[in-house]
Amino acid sequence: MSNEPGFDTGRFGRILALVGFVTTVFLFLTAQRLSGDAFQIGAVAIGMVGLVTAIIGFLVAAGSAVDAT
């Protein structure tokens, strides 16, 4: 958490990096275990969870900007 007022880009960057890493690992694991339609469904589900998590990370970083003012 930075001491500067405004959008906390450090926190947002760390959250995005973590979400990207975890999503990539899960997609690789899914590609090894599933094939065909099952892989497509799994990849979409994992991608949607990653997207929602990134949106929540953005809201957390924006919320810290609101709290700082």
Q: pLDDT tens across 38-47, in order?
A: 999 999 999 9
Q: pLDDT tens across 12-54, in order?
A: 888 889 999 999 999 999 999 988 899 999 999 999 999 999 8
What average pLDDT does the segment 59-69 reach?
Answer: 76
Rg, Å, the chain Cα set: 16
Residues with Cβ within 8 Å of residue 62, at least 6 apart in sequence = 7
Q: Which two tokens stand for residue 30?
A: 């899914």
pLDDT score, position 6: 65
